[in-house]
C-alpha cells in the first residue's frame, strides 16, 4: 500500500520537497506518494486534518506554518521545543509527533558534505530568528571554540545567547551581539538572515572573514548572493549555499518516517545552482 506524505506552505509552488522525497523513495525502494499542499493563512489545522483523514502519514512544513505546526502537534521533540517551530510531522493515530531537522541538516552539510569540522573553530551566525534558534544545539554539540550570534536587534541575539547557555551541556562560549560589536575573524560565517531572499546585504564588516573561512548562506538557489559576494571580495574562496542543508534535513525526515536514511549526494548535485 502506498503511503502518503506532503509538504504544506503558502506559497508552495517553489518547494523542492516532492522532487527530493520521490528521489529518496526511488533509491531506497520505498512506496510513497508525495505532494504539495497550499494552505490558506489561518487554515493550517483544517488542511492537516483533511490530509490525515485521507490517510496521510506525515508532512514537511514550510513558511509560514512552522509555528502553527508547533501548536498543532501533540508531542514535540526537543529539537522542535528548542526551535519553537516544526518542519516535520508524523501522524500515528491521534498522535502528531513533531521535529525540527533544520539544525541537524545544517551541521551535517557543513561537517560531512563540505568537510568543514566545527570543533575548535570560531563560528559567527548572522540573524536571531527561527533558523538560528533551531541550529543552536546542533552547532554547540560540535564544540566550536566560540559561537557568536549577531543581529540588528541586539536584544534578540542576547536572548539566544541566554537560551544557548541554558541548554548546552558543554562549555562553549556564546555571545549575542550587534553587528558593530563583532570583533576578530571567524573560521565559519553563516548567514541565517532573510537578506538574501531580498537581494540585500547584512551590515557586516568584511574583516570577520578569516583567510580560510567558509562563508555559508542558508538561502539556496540564488547563486552568488550579496552576502557571498561580500565574502568573495574579502578573499574567501570557500563559498556555499543552503542546498545541502535542504537535502540533509529532508533526509532526516525521510529516515524518521521510513526507517532508512537515503544518500543525499545525487539530490544535492541535481539541485545545486552555480555560485556565479
What's the pLDDT band for 169 if we cut at 50, 70, 90? low
Beta bridge partners of 243: none
Burial class (CB in 10 A: 0-12, 13-18, 19+), 184: exposed
Q: Find where cell 558543554 sits.
A: 170
Mean pLDDT to the nearest integer, 194-208:
88
**Confidence at residue 110, expressed as pLDDT on a 0 to 100 scale:** 98
pLDDT confidence band for 167 (50 / 70 / 90): confident
Give the pLDDT confidence score for residue 171 in this predicted structure: 86
Q: Which of 16, 36, 66, 222 is catalytic?
A: 66
Supply the Cα-derived Rg of the chain in whole angstroms: 19
90 is catalytic: no
Measured distance CA(222)–CA(204) in Å, rounded:
19
Contact partners, residue 152, CB within 8 Å, separation at least 6: 178, 179, 203
**241 - beta bridge partners?**
217
pLDDT tens-digit map of 20-59 = 999 999 999 999 999 999 999 999 999 999 999 999 999 9
Q: Looking at the domain 103-243, which fold is it?
A: Rossmann fold (3.40.50)
For residue 189, the model assigns a pLDDT of 98
Task: Say which CATH class 3-100 falls into.
Answer: alpha beta
Are 3-100 and 103-243 in the same CATH fold?
yes
Domain boundaries, the chain: 3-100, 103-243
Task: Tell me how far apart the alpha carbons of residues 165 and 245 are, in angstroms, rounded to a whole number.
Answer: 25
Can you give the pLDDT at residue 73? 98
Question: How far apart are the C-alpha atoms of 173 and 26, rounded to whole Å?
Answer: 43
Specify which residues 189 forms β-bridges with. 124, 215
Q: Are 70 and 98 in contact (CB under 8 A)?
A: yes
pLDDT at site 249: 96
Write out the H or E segment, with its range, that includes residue 32: strand 32-38
d(Cα 26, Cα 5) in Å, to the nearest integer? 15
pLDDT tens track for 52-98: 999 999 999 998 999 999 999 999 999 999 888 999 999 999 999 99
What is the chain's mean pLDDT, rounded? 95
Record the pTM.
Answer: 0.93
pLDDT confidence tier of residue 257, bands split at 50, 70 and 90: very high
Give me the pLDDT at residue 55, please: 97
Percent of the chain whose predicted confidence (pLDDT) is above 70: 100
Confidence of residue 155 (pLDDT cuts 50, 70, 90): very high
At residue 163, φ and ψ (nearest 5 deg) are -65, -45
As given in the structure block, the three cell numbers for residue 87 are 518542519
pLDDT of residue 247: 97
Contacts of 57 (CB under 8 A, 6+ apart): 3, 4, 5, 90, 91, 257
The lowest-confidence range among 78-87, 98-107, 175-184 is: 78-87
143 with 119: CB under 8 angstroms?
Answer: yes
Amino acid at each position: 500500500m502506498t503511503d502518503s506524505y506532503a509538504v504544506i506552505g503558502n506559497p508552495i509552488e517553489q518547494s523542492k520537497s516532492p522532487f527530493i522525497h520521490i528521489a529518496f523513495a526511488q533509491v531506497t525502494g520505498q512506496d510513497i506518494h508525495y505532494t504539495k499542499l497550499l494552505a490558506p493563512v489561518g487554515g493550517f489545522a483544517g488542511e492537516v486534518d483533511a490530509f490525515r483523514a485521507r490517510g496521510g502519514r506525515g508532512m514537511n512544513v514550510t513558511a509560514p506554518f512552522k509555528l502553527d505546526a508547533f501548536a498543532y502537534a501533540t508531542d514535540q521533540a526537543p529539537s522542535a521545543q528548542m526551535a519553537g517551530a516544526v518542519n516535520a510531522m508524523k501522524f500515528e493515530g491521534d498522535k502528531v509527533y513533531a521535529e525540527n531537522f533544520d539544525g541537524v541538516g545544517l551541521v551535517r552539510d557543513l561537517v560531512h558534505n563540505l568537510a568543514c569540522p566545527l570543533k575548535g573553530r570560531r563560528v559567527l551566525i548572522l540573524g536571531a530568528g527561527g533558523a538560528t534558534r533551531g541550529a543552536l544545539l546542533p552547532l554547540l554539540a560540535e564544540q566550536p571554540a566560540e559561537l557568536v550570534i549577531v543581529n540588528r536587534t541586539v536584544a534578540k541575539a542576547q536572548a539566544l545567547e541566554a537560551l544557548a547557555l541554558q541548554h548546552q551541556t558543554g562549555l562553549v562560549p556564546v555571545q549575542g551581539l550587534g553587528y558593530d560589536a563583532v570583533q576578530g575573524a571567524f573560521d565559519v560565517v553563516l548567514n541565517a538572515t532573510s537578506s538574501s531572499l531580498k537581494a540585500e546585504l547584512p551590515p557586516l564588516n568584511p574583516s570577520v572573514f578569516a583567510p580560510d573561512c567558509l562563508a555559508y548562506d542558508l538561502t539556496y538557489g540564488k547563486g552568488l548572493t550579496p552576502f557571498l559576494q561580500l565574502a568573495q571580495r574579502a578573499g574567501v574562496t570557500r563559498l556555499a549555499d543552503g542546498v545541502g542543508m535542504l537535502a540533509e534535513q529532508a533526509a532526516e525526515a525521510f529516515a524518521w518516517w521510513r526507517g532508512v536514511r537515503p544518500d543525499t549526494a545525487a539530490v544535492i548535485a541535481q539541485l545545486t545552482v552555480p555560485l556565479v
